[in-house]
Amino acid sequence: MTDDPIRRVLDGHARLPVSAWALGDGDNLYEAGMTSHASVNVMLGLEDTFEVEFPERLLRKATFSSIASIRAAIEELIASPAT
């Protein structure tokens, strides 16, 4: 999996003041300007893009704090979609 779909979702929904393509995988998205409300939209956009559903256990700030953490969560959901 590349980071491209994640960055596309971020550019579409995170309301960052800079493009997600300008951010590193480990950069903190909240420090970059993403609000909690925007993170809801990011979550729903990721669900549409990757055809997954974030379970309640992943609804924590850390899950959406960086491109790397989002990628890890998506990979986990794709590998074990029912958990």
Partner 1 sequence: MGTWGGDAPSSPDSAGAPAPRPSGGGIDLIRVGVDAVVVDHVRESIENFGERYLDRVFTRHEQESCRGSEDVRARGLAARFAAKEATIKILRPQDRSVPWRAVEVQSHPGGWCDLALSGEAARLAGAADIRGFSMSFTHEGQLAVAVVAAWRGTS
CB of 43 to partner 1, least distance (A): 8
Q: Within positions 36 to 75, which residues make up the interface with partner 1, using CB under 8 A?
A: 36-38, 40-41, 43-44, 47, 56-62
Side chain identity, residue 56: E
Side chain identity, residue 32: A
For residues 52-74, b (16+ Cβ closer than 10 Å) or e, as one string? bebeeebeeeebbbbbebbbebb
CB of 69 to partner 1, least distance (A): 12
- Site for partner 1, rule CB under 8 A: 13, 15, 35-38, 40-41, 43-44, 47, 56-62
